[in-house]
Amino acid sequence: MEAGDVPLADLIARFEQGTQLLKVCEGRLQEAELRIEQLRRQKDGALTTERFEPAREA
């Protein structure tokens, strides 16, 4: 690609494929984030779980 020997149509197709893969990966990451739980130790020493809430970027 850097040498300029790849036709423009192929570059566009590769870009579109990369965009689709990015959407798939973002979806899978979002699903994983929703399933993650944190262990919390209570004052009495017992362990409990609660959902992990990631900090969202603005």
DSSP line for 1-58: -TTS-S-HHHHHHHHHHHHHHHHHHHHHHHHHHHH-EEEEE-TTS-EEEEE--PPPP-
pLDDT digits (tens, 9 = 90+) for 4-58: 788 989 999 999 999 999 999 999 988 887 777 666 777 888 878 777 776 776 5
Domains of the chain, by residue range, sit at: 8-51
Quick one: pLDDT band at residue 1, thresholds 50, 70, 90?
low
pLDDT value of residue 5:
82
Single out the residue of 2, 12, 56, 5 nearest to residue 34, CA to CA. 56
pLDDT value of residue 54:
67
Quick one: pLDDT band at residue 2, thresholds 50, 70, 90?
low
- Find all residues with CB under 8 Å of 16, minimum gap 6, and list them: none
pTM for this prediction = 0.54
Cβ(47)–Cβ(39) below 8 Å: yes
